[in-house]
Amino acid sequence: MQNIPLVLFGVPFHNVTFEEAIQWTVDRVRSGRPGVIATANLDFLVLAQTDPELREVLYEADIVIADGFPPVKLAPFYGPPLKGRVTGSDITPMLAERAAKEGISIYGLGAAEGIAVQAMEVLKKRHPDLKVAGAWSPPYAPLDKMDHAEILRRLEEAKPDILFTAFGAPKQDKFNHMHVKTWNVPVAIGIGGTLDFIAGVQTRAPVRVQKLQCEWLWRWGTDPKRLTKRYLTNIAFLMRAVWLTLRLKLGRNVPAQIDPSAPPHWPEHGVNYHEFQTLEKLPNELSGKVVIDLRNVEMIQSDEIGALLELSKRVEKVVLLHAGSKVRKLWEFSKLGDRLPLVVTCADALAALK
Ligand code: UDP
């Protein structure tokens, strides 16, 4: 499976189908190395705009799946298309079915009191061979007030292969991120309200409504008090995203002024300099402190941003020099500057790398 994500509005999406994400999960369980999956919908894009911690969580997730139509519809304007929507509420029962076949155990964590147990019972009834390692709905509390020690103790005792974390976004994803480096859970996946759907306390939209891409309207109708503010914010974000897309497609690019001292004696400063052209020409061997010069690039595609994001995980630091106005606009909107800062002059680049 290709692991360079497509970065859309600052959120990395891995271009996988349901089957590929499920196979990845099975392989990861077999490897025993803990990993996390985030199921990112439009709300994640919105939350990530103002939440640097969530952005980090998403950058570091092993797989982020596109749980909604907006990223799928907008992807082709920014690079390769996404293969399709991979929803958390659909992949959860599919994972349970595959787990039953593979002898893999699952654990349901979260939702209101008793719901996780009910949901696991429903799945067990559907798949009698399914190994349910456990289920628990801890008392509602903000992330920093939760009894993490008690949750970890239960997980340590149950030793699940797949953990379904259902605290809602972004709490569930921050929770998984907090513990992935220290616990022994091979795959943890944030699934939002899915335990409620499986237990039958919330009903999903009829398939017809889902096919019309209006599931969100259905949810809004069933829980207007909680969801009105969220959906209005999401719609406003979507309109801004479409407006940005039009400006980037139809507007004029103003290239950056080239710093006449570039490239200076980068090796003297222990800096690796690379003039970016295309993803294929991005060398694998870059290391240490890296300056990527964008002087001849009008726009960076979503997979190219994904590759730069991956590079930023591998090396000490990456900065981008000489970005034109379109890249700047995209960066400003996507808040990518924490990981991939844009700099104007070589002196700024050296300062940012210190
Ligand atoms: N929930 C929880 N702990 C909390 C807050 C929420 O377990 O502190 C559960 C809630 O009961 C529901 C799920 O998290 O089952 C959130 O569902 P929602 O539909 O809001 O998911 P989102 O769309 O936010 O991912």
**What average pLDDT does the structure give for the chain?**
94
Radius of gyration of the chain (CA): 22
Tell me, yes or no, whether 56 lies in a domain. Answer: yes
| Residue that is written with structure tokens 């800062």 in the block | 341
Same domain, 181 and 99: yes
b/e for 228-265, b at 16 or more Cβ within 10 A? Answer: eebbeebeebbeebeebbeebeeeeeeebeebeebbbe
Averaged pLDDT for residues 190-213? 91
Instruction: Report the Cα–Cα distance between both ends of the chain, in Å, rounded.
Output: 35
Q: Is the pLDDT of residue 2 over 80?
A: no
Out of 242-251, 274-283, 298-307, 309-318, pick the least confident. 274-283
Coil, strand or helix: which one is 326? helix
Same domain, 43 and 146: yes
Same domain, 39 and 134: yes
* pLDDT band with cut points at 50, 70 and 90 for residue 13: very high
Coil, strand or helix: which one is 205? coil
Same domain, 51 and 135: yes
The answer to whether 40 and 65 are in contact (CB under 8 A) is yes
Tell me, yes or no, whether 323 lies in a domain. Answer: yes
Q: Please work out whether the CB of residue 196 comes within 6 Å of at least one atom of ligand 1.
A: yes
Q: Which two tokens stand for residue 223?
A: 């829980």
Q: Which two tokens stand for residue 325?
A: 């106005």
Domain interval for residue 333: 266-353
Q: Please work out whether the CB of residue 112 comes within 6 Å of at least one atom of ligand 1.
A: yes
* Domain count of the fold of the chain: 2
Out of 105-109, 196-200, 223-227, pick the least confident. 223-227
Averaged pLDDT for residues 111-125? 98
Tell me, yes or no, whether 317 lies in a domain. Answer: yes
Tell me, yes or no, whether 107 lies in a domain. Answer: yes
Tell me, yes or no, whether 236 lies in a domain. Answer: no
pLDDT at position 188 is 98
Choose the final residue of a domain: 152, 169, 204.
204
Q: Is the pLDDT of residue 1 over 60?
A: no
Same domain, 192 and 308: no
Q: Please work out whether the CB of residue 189 comes within 6 Å of at least one atom of ligand 1.
A: no
- Stated pTM of the model: 0.94
Beta bridge partners of 189: 37, 164
Tell me, yes or no, whether 200 lies in a domain. Answer: yes
Averaged pLDDT for residues 15-44? 96
Same domain, 198 and 55: yes
Beta-carbon-side half-sphere exposure of residue 105 (alpha carbons within 13 Å): 13
Q: Is the pLDDT of residue 264 over 80?
A: no
Averaged pLDDT for residues 259-283? 80
Q: Is the pLDDT of residue 123 over 90?
A: yes
The answer to whether 345 and 263 are in contact (CB under 8 A) is no
Q: Please work out whether the CB of residue 138 comes within 6 Å of at least one atom of ligand 1.
A: no
Choose the final residue of a domain: 157, 173, 204.
204
Return d(Cα 131, Cα 128) in angstroms, integer: 8
Same domain, 182 and 302: no
Tell me, yes or no, whether 233 lies in a domain. Answer: no
- Domain of 347, CATH number, reads 3.30.750.24
- CA geometry: angle 10, 12, 15, nearest 5 deg: 140
Same domain, 182 and 294: no
The closest of 191, 172, 182, 189 to 25, measured between CA atoms, is 189
Q: Which residues does 256 contact at the CB level (< 8 Å), separation at least 6? A: 294, 295, 322, 323, 324, 344
- Domain of 171, CATH number, reads 3.40.50
Same domain, 192 and 274: no
Tell me, yes or no, whether 40 lies in a domain. Answer: yes
- For residue 66, what is the enclosing H or E element? strand 63-66
Between the CA of 196 and the centroid of ligand 1 the distance, in Å, is 9
Q: Is the pLDDT of residue 58 over 90?
A: yes
Same domain, 198 and 272: no
Q: Is the pLDDT of residue 259 over 90?
A: no
Averaged pLDDT for residues 163-175? 97
Choose the final residue of a domain: 179, 204, 229.
204
Averaged pLDDT for residues 55-70? 96
Same domain, 196 and 291: no
Between the CA of 193 and the centroid of ligand 1 the distance, in Å, is 5
Pairing relation of β-strands 63-66 and 35-40? parallel
